[in-house]
Chains A and B, each alone.
Chain A
Amino acid sequence: MIRIAKFVLYDIIRNRFVLLYTVLLLIVSFSMYSLDVDAGKSTLSLLNIILLVVPLVSVVFTTIHFFNSYEFIELLLSQPVNRKTIFLAEFFSVAFALSCAFLIGVGVPVMVLNFSESSIYLILAGLLLTLVFVALAFAAAVFTRDKAKGIGIALLFWFYFTLIYDGLILYIIYSFSDYPMEKVTLIMVSLNPVDLARIIILLKLDVSALMGYTGAFYKSFFGSNAGIIYSVLFLVLWVLAPLLFAIQKFSQKDI
């Protein structure tokens, strides 16, 4: 697998998109910290940008990369190599490249300018989000043969999780505001990786008051070690589920 991944990585690095992404993240991170004196506020602004940009770039880059390397994959399939190996090599190369970009683009400036517990969680959440959306994008790309359709489905995931889902949650909470909704919203939040990442960091930043009446409940849950483990575990599930689906689909696919 590493032998294949080496060549895939070489191909990814050569097309400079990842480099551009790294530079963009660097600029955003540095400018956020130079805009405000309060490091907590800067982390919060950075968080909001990361939650939008990281999933979007992961999704778009992954699908485009997959469809562009279709011929390369076909060539590999004509050799005596396991399909699973090829797929995992593709996944890990893309995930590795984007994670490195994130670590350099956000991890380094955050660690240098504002070394704190919340920064570590910010980096952890960003990395997990990258993996989640790379896995989701691979699932979307494997699902269809048509490039436009694949990118469309992947973008739909992004829209759904960053925009539509929040609206739905708000609507549900508002409609059922007469009932105790804490546990229900906790489950609903777990079903959205972006929200999970957001909540871990918000609680670490101690701005849970912003989240209204369920904030106190979240704080007691996510603020504890068990809550952190719970959310990380759920994010890992969010990586594994689409990945396993994609592997399954890819091994049976008529290429």
Chain B
Amino acid sequence: MKIGQIFDMIRDLRRDQSTLDEDLIKEFKLDQMKDKRMHTLSGGTRQKVSASLAFLFNPSILILDEPTAGLDPIATEALKEKILSDMNSNKTFMITSHIMSDLDELSSYLIYIEEGKILFKDSIELLKEETGEIKLGRAVATIMRRNITQPIEA
């Protein structure tokens, strides 16, 4: 299937949705490669298609799993900007990622899970304050070292 057909099909499936959000399609220039077949795409381009599809129908909650994986720097920034602007228009995001710098920019609340156990669960501001670190990555590392013997119960 071609990229254009995927979009057509999903739009066709959800005809009832009237307000479409095509910012990312334009931003990622996907409309220029409509005729490329899905199985020939690189991981990054696939990721772009998936991200555009996720945003397409204006959902109020978005769950993104490693949203920037495989994306080039320009696309990463474009996606982050999109997430931030949508957040300002009252959308909720749940992002799983192990790239702390991304989370630092995007998120306000952090749940850190290791081997199925919640090790930390609080606002990022509080975390930084408590550890006295400016960067999220270092703050998390500090708290992990401290809590390594006794995980915080939720």
Measuring CB to CB, which residues of chain A are less than 8 angstroms from any residue of chain B?
3-4, 7, 10-11, 71-72, 75-76, 78-81
Contacts and interface: CB of A to CB of B under 8 A. Distances in A.
Contacts, number: 22
Given A4-B13, A75-B53, A79-B10, 15 more contacts: A3-B9, A3-B12, A3-B13, A7-B9, A10-B5, A11-B1, A71-B38, A72-B1, A75-B6, A75-B10, A76-B13, A78-B53, A79-B13, A79-B14, A81-B13
Nearest to A81: B13
A71 B50 CA distance: 12
Nearest to B38: A71
B94 to A, nearest CB: 15
A10 B13 CA distance: 16
Interface of B: 1, 5-6, 9-10, 12-14, 38, 53
A7 B5 contact: yes
B49 to A, nearest CB: 9
A11 B1 CA distance: 7
A81 B16 CA distance: 13
Main secondary structure of the interface of B (DSSP, over half): helix
B10 A7 contact: no
22 contacts: A3-B9, A3-B12, A3-B13, A4-B9, A4-B13, A7-B1, A7-B5, A7-B9, A10-B5, A11-B1, A71-B38, A72-B1, A75-B6, A75-B10, A75-B53, A76-B13, A78-B53, A79-B10, A79-B13, A79-B14, A80-B14, A81-B13
Contacts of B53: 75, 78
A2 B24 CA distance: 29
B11 to A, nearest CB: 11
B50 to A, nearest CB: 8
A72 B12 CA distance: 15
Contacts of A72: 1
Contacts of B14: 79-80
A10 B2 CA distance: 12
Contacts of A7: 1, 5, 9
Nearest to A11: B1
A79 B53 CA distance: 10
Q: Which 10 A-B pairs have the closest CB atoms?
A: A7-B9, A3-B12, A79-B13, A3-B13, A79-B10, A81-B13, A11-B1, A79-B14, A72-B1, A80-B14
Nearest to B10: A79
Nearest to B46: A71
B64 to A, nearest CB: 12
Nearest to A76: B13
B72 to A, nearest CB: 22
Contacts of B12: 3
A71 B14 CA distance: 19
Contacts of B13: 3-4, 76, 79, 81
A83 to B, nearest CB: 14
Pick the most buried of A7, A72, A81: most chain B CB atoms within 10 A of its CB. A7
Contacts of B9: 3-4, 7
A31 to B, nearest CB: 37
A7 to B, nearest CB: 5
Contacts of A4: 9, 13
Contacts of A76: 13
B7 to A, nearest CB: 11
Contacts of B38: 71
A115 B13 CA distance: 44
A72 B10 CA distance: 11
B102 to A, nearest CB: 22
A72 B1 CA distance: 9
Contacts of A3: 9, 12-13
